Structure 1
């Protein structure tokens, strides 16, 4: 019995053409809806999602132990973590996508996301390696902020900063100079363009056959189209992350997967991907 011929892949844009998807306008309250959808996904999936939070909370605890007595390094490292978080949440996006498609969202989905995509037939066409390239760029940016933060605090603090109390006394509450304001300004100066570049870039790279430049420009377009809503979204991400850190990192077990799933719904609400070819999850080897 003859088998049906496989359906052809969607045509790729001509070389040199940069096609960007349409970006939707969303209400100012949309981020609250994304959080509600992310919360639903978190508890529908259960422990595979919570495992992400547990791993990252354990990594944070290891980081805190390694940087003990050097709080200036810890402050930079934890803020740098915010930069690379969209990369670490890749398999959380894949889990939410599986739920959306009515497919099993389980450990097999996570395993395929992190191990077998590079063998898919799209890899040779710029495929999932775009995720790796973008992840490396964000990691370099995070490392740059850690070094910048360390240099600022070490060089300009009026006394050595070794503990959280030292950071509060000699940086936050310093009576002379503006070190804390400078530290916040430098962090914001780096974080704002990185947020604008990554707010929907990683989910888009996972979901559709686009390159890094298309994903980053689409992300910027989403921010410029919805500045107020995405400013609120950035504030919610930062606030919930700080809350997770303030609970001796235990809150990150829930906060990390919650925000990861919510970010998938932010991407789906903001970007009209109907004109872009889908990047199908790999099912096996080559």
Structure 2
């Protein structure tokens, strides 16, 4: 039997390819790199001031609304708050744009945020790598988040030995239940969903904002980033989870600072991990993208 030919080697100066799809170069970073991203994100947070904090205020207000609507239905609230982490990369899009503008020495203001969220309207739907790629990716994450909320609610309501209506009920009948393995099952399913979603989205949205790539390119790049830097990315995931839980534990007030901080830091994570210089830069559309 003939020996299969090795895959073609990309010529010097060309971008790496996976299955014929052009991907940017992924850099290896040290384990402590996430701490540098947090430091850079902290600087951007205070350079942008209220422009960043208003994002955190809006997210905290949304969390308060969830608390009010699901006050006596904690089985729903637990899934909603954990599902929030799934769509967070989309909600932070304008924070990436603010950090990008600071990096390029451009002025930042309300116009930066407004243009970030409205440019897709001037793009043709079928253009490969257009602004609609960001919309598609956002919809995919939203569907994944909704799926987890429904899964979490079904698990708790169907398998809990007693109704779960308050945080105390969740602690007593799910976390500290003497029989069954509901909490372990809840955590396992959440982890099985969260891990691939984190790997698919950790640099995807910043890349989609920065370069003319489609959703598949962005997701493959994100996976390659995690596979190239497993330990730093595990630490980054733990820091994101820990800081978010800290923000929630302060009656959501801490989210006003934590969420924009993590958004800006995520931009610096993307810049440190991904060398996208060979890919076409995403420039503002005039009328069509």
The normalised TM-score by structure 2 is 0.91
Q: Does 1:184 align with 2:168?
A: no
Matched residue, 2:162: 159
The structure-2 alpha-carbon separation of the partners of 1:121 and 1:148, relative to structure 1 and needing over 3 Å to count, comes to: closer
Q: Does 1:118 align with 2:118?
A: no
Deviation at 1:126, TM superposition (A): 3.7
- The 2-side partners of 1:125 and 1:221 are apart by 21
Of 225, 241, 248, which aligns to 2:228? 225
Matched residue, 1:144: 147
Q: How many residues align?
A: 271
Matched residue, 1:258: 261
Matched residue, 1:10: none
> What does the per-residue CA deviation read over 1:123-175, in whole Å, with 9 as the maximum and x for residues that have no partner?
84441100000000000000000000001000111100000000000000101
Of 131, 135, 150, which aligns to 1:132? 135
Q: Does 1:102 align with 2:105?
A: yes
> What does the per-residue CA deviation read over 1:48-68, in whole Å, with 9 as the maximum and x for residues that have no partner?
100000001000100111111
- The 2-side partners of 1:239 and 1:217 are apart by 26
Partner SS, residue 261 of structure 1: helix
Matched residue, 1:214: 217
Could you tell me whether the CA contact under 8 Å between 1:117 and 1:281 is conserved in 2? no
Deviation at 1:281, TM superposition (A): 3.2
- The 1-side partners of 2:223 and 2:202 are apart by 8
Q: Does 1:200 align with 2:203?
A: yes
Of 271, 280, 284, which aligns to 2:283? 280
> What does the per-residue CA deviation read over 1:35-87, in whole Å, with 9 as the maximum and x for residues that have no partner?
00000000001001000000010001001111110001000000000000000
Q: Does 1:82 align with 2:85?
A: yes
Could you tell me whether the CA contact under 8 Å between 1:120 and 1:285 is conserved in 2? yes
Matched residue, 1:48: 51
Could you tell me whether the CA contact under 8 Å between 1:117 and 1:123 is conserved in 2? no
The normalised TM-score by structure 1 is 0.92
Matched residue, 1:13: none
Of 27, 31, 36, which aligns to 2:30? 27
Could you tell me whether the CA contact under 8 Å between 2:211 and 2:282 is conserved in 1? yes
- The 2-side partners of 1:80 and 1:121 are apart by 30
Matched residue, 2:42: 39
Matched residue, 2:246: 243
Deviation at 1:103, TM superposition (A): 0.3
> What does the per-residue CA deviation read over 1:67-119, in whole Å, with 9 as the maximum and x for residues that have no partner?
11000100000000000000000000000000000001111100000113431
- The 2-side partners of 1:213 and 1:122 are apart by 16
Q: Does 1:64 align with 2:67?
A: yes
> What does the per-residue CA deviation read over 1:191-235, in whole Å, with 9 as the maximum and x for residues that have no partner?
000000000000000000000000000000000000000000000
Q: Does 1:267 align with 2:270?
A: yes
Could you tell me whether the CA contact under 8 Å between 1:116 and 1:285 is conserved in 2? no
Deviation at 1:245, TM superposition (A): 0.4
The root-mean-square deviation of aligned C-alpha atoms, in Å, is 1.6
Could you tell me whether the CA contact under 8 Å between 2:124 and 2:132 is conserved in 1? no
